[in-house]
Chain A
């Protein structure tokens, strides 16, 4: 099983008049076929920019990807491709869906046509064939009366239906990778669960690898094989979902897990948000970027930049103290009683 996607030392910086925004500053990961990687972090952690970098959707006017960065899709360098090459991958081999389905569909074209567009473009289908296939896809994502619905316009769809349509659009050409950038954030809670169920089901059926970008750890728990936590453009923890959830190594991850409201806690627990503000990506704090907000920060954290180090098998953390076996927290213990 060859690695589907290899991201090596990805650095994406934006040159603005106020300075260089280091949106992504050294990210490494691999993605295997059929697996799901969750990329977790706050707004501004660089998770979306990472995804857009993979698709090379970074605007060329201000965005620069580092020359020593590389992204390999099935062994071929995406960063080295010419424009035509990249476009033949987009929507075809790697597809992306976005956060807000309300605005992500073009209001003046019918839904079926928008779904069929990539089929016509990449698979050379004729319009009629594309229309038929679009109906099949709408059916596959669980939209009733798909035949009539394909002729509707986006504003006639509800939010959840639109996101389903987006998924149909993304999966039209049977891509190897689906990147989902906060696909459920803009939806109602009940719809969120439905969409996630749908994605899991489709993945089982088609074997598509998924990169799931989210700030919602609940989503991660449902779907991810591996989890990558980002902060201020850097990876600060990486491991299997179980590792990161039950044996988190980085104080930031502890903060994330602890600040979740728990529906299985009977007494009134106190929600502990992480204090402070997310850091500026132009003036990144010195040393460990998290140190201003970290309750465990020591002097050395201000000066030394921690590297992502493997602590256990397949589980790494970018904290200077993670190597110390005493520096641990048990957050979600499996023995906890369920109420």
Chain B
């Protein structure tokens, strides 16, 4: 026998294609490549840099990560600021700044540029723009929150029915979701409001109804993934009923993606409300809505350009704040949303 055959004979071993026995706990990427040996991307130091520290809950951990994300915190701060401003508006806007509904028809009182009396100027009916912007925030936030709340409520129910019971109900609901998703956002709202009549209340119904498919899908996939888990079987074995199952075991897991999605949806809802009001399908005058204010400002673009700046900025900053918050929440809660 040649040396080579000896070697082959003695040392050849039927390995599986898993790691050799000497590998233990090594950092590998999804393709099985040792991360250390790879020089393609920025190398991760071989020691674990996630220090296990005892007792951090999911939420504590998430809060920690959220805090580190400056943009998300900025968004959160702005949102809280806006909320506070609108909640307390009655206390300080009317006495010190002006009444959003108070028209001033004296000559020259309207279309004033920003001044000491009216820090954002006055509109075509002599009303204080600043006051209208603040009260407009109330409308926008209310619509945003309520509309999303409606979407979430419908979405949770649909998603729960779909995911938990599966089968034909699942297919039916998911096809229904597809139908709703086939509608470009604003169009459906327009159609619905055309039927119901333009009003403040109908706006959040319209937006709310449109938003359920995404929430339902996200919730459904949470349910599906949890359903497979063993602890559900264990709970079943203990005789837990359907409802209990949903609330106790499934909800906590599913909550995270819904929080993320809900937050981001509020931003979208605010823009949609503004768009609808702009088109005349939403809030009706004289109620101050940012969208309405923009629409009013259009014909006055040459004479009073500042009128369109304030509401626009307001929309931009508020929506951006929600988007950043949503982004930050998604990273912090480490949610991977595939739908």
Q: Chain A residues in contact with chain B, CB under 8 A?
A: 12, 14, 16, 18-19, 21, 23, 42-44, 46-49, 52, 57-59, 61-63, 99-100, 102-103, 184-189, 192, 215-218, 220-222, 241-242, 245, 255-257, 259-264, 271, 273-274, 277-283, 332-334, 336, 338
Known A43-B23, A58-B39; contact A278-B13, beta-carbon cutoff 8 A: no
Q: List 4 other contacts, CB 8 Å, given A245-B11, A282-B46.
A: A21-B45, A44-B46, A221-B12, A281-B36
Structural contact, B39 and A215, CB atoms closer than 8 A = no
* Residue interface bits B196-237, CB-to-A below 8 A is 1, else 0: 000000000000000000000000000000000000000000
Q: Among the listed B17, B31, B39, which residue makes an inter-chain contact with A63, where contact means beta carbons less than 8 Å apart? A: B39
- Point out the residues of chain B lying under 8 angstroms from A279, CB to CB: 46
Structural contact, A49 and B37, CB atoms closer than 8 A = yes
Structural contact, B11 and A257, CB atoms closer than 8 A = yes
The smallest beta-carbon distance between B7 and chain A, in angstroms, is 4
Q: Which DSSP category, helix, strand, loop or mixed, fits chain A's interface?
A: loop
Query: For the complex, is B40 an interface residue (Cβ under 8 Å from A)?
Result: yes
Structural contact, A273 and B8, CB atoms closer than 8 A = no
Complex: how many Å from CA A47 to CA B33?
12
Structural contact, A42 and B23, CB atoms closer than 8 A = yes
Q: Among the listed B7, B21, B43, B44, which residue makes an inter-chain contact with A221, where contact means beta carbons less than 8 Å apart? A: B7
Complex: how many Å from CA A62 to CA B38?
12
Query: For the complex, is B88 an interface residue (Cβ under 8 Å from A)?
Result: no
- Point out the residues of chain B lying under 8 angstroms from A336, CB to CB: 10
11 cross-chain CB contacts under 8 A: A21-B45, A48-B34, A188-B17, A215-B23, A221-B7, A242-B3, A273-B22, A273-B24, A278-B46, A333-B10, A338-B9
Structural contact, B46 and A186, CB atoms closer than 8 A = no
Structural contact, A99 and B20, CB atoms closer than 8 A = no
Complex: how many Å from CA A187 to CA B32?
12
Complex: how many Å from CA A212 to CA B37?
15
Query: For the complex, is B25 an interface residue (Cβ under 8 Å from A)?
Result: yes
Structural contact, B43 and A42, CB atoms closer than 8 A = no
- How many chain B residues touch A (CB < 8 A): the figure is 41
Structural contact, B26 and A278, CB atoms closer than 8 A = yes
Q: Among the listed A12, A255, A263, A280, which residue makes an inter-chain contact with B47, where contact means beta carbons less than 8 Å apart? A: A280
- Point out the residues of chain B lying under 8 angstroms from A261, CB to CB: 13-14, 21
From 25 to 76 in chain B, residues with beta carbon under 8 angstroms from any chain A beta carbon are 25-28, 31-34, 36-47, 49
Complex: how many Å from CA A32 to CA B21?
32
Q: Among the listed A19, A43, A242, A255, which residue makes an inter-chain contact with B37, where contact means beta carbons less than 8 Å apart? A: A43
Known A245-B10, A338-B9; contact A186-B17, beta-carbon cutoff 8 A: yes
Q: Among the listed B3, B6, B15, B44, which residue makes an inter-chain contact with A216, where contact means beta carbons less than 8 Å apart? A: B15
Query: For the complex, is B19 an interface residue (Cβ under 8 Å from A)?
Result: yes
- Point out the residues of chain B lying under 8 angstroms from A57, CB to CB: 39
Query: For the complex, is B115 an interface residue (Cβ under 8 Å from A)?
Result: no
Complex: how many Å from CA A279 to CA B40?
21
- Point out the residues of chain B lying under 8 angstroms from A42, CB to CB: 20, 22-23, 26
Query: For the complex, is B16 an interface residue (Cβ under 8 Å from A)?
Result: yes
Which among B19, B31, B40, B46 has the highest number of chain A CB atoms within 10 Å? B46
Q: Which residue of A lies closest to B38 (CB)?
A: A48
Complex: how many Å from CA A46 to CA B10?
27
Structural contact, A189 and B26, CB atoms closer than 8 A = no
Q: Which residue of B lies closest to A53 (CB)?
A: B39
- Point out the residues of chain A lying under 8 angstroms from B39, CB to CB: 12, 14, 23, 48-49, 52, 57-59, 63
Q: Among the listed A61, A218, A277, which residue makes an inter-chain contact with B42, where contact means beta carbons less than 8 Å apart? A: A61
- Point out the residues of chain B lying under 8 angstroms from A102, CB to CB: 31
The smallest beta-carbon distance between A232 and chain B, in angstroms, is 10
Complex: how many Å from CA A43 to CA B31?
14
Structural contact, B24 and A21, CB atoms closer than 8 A = no
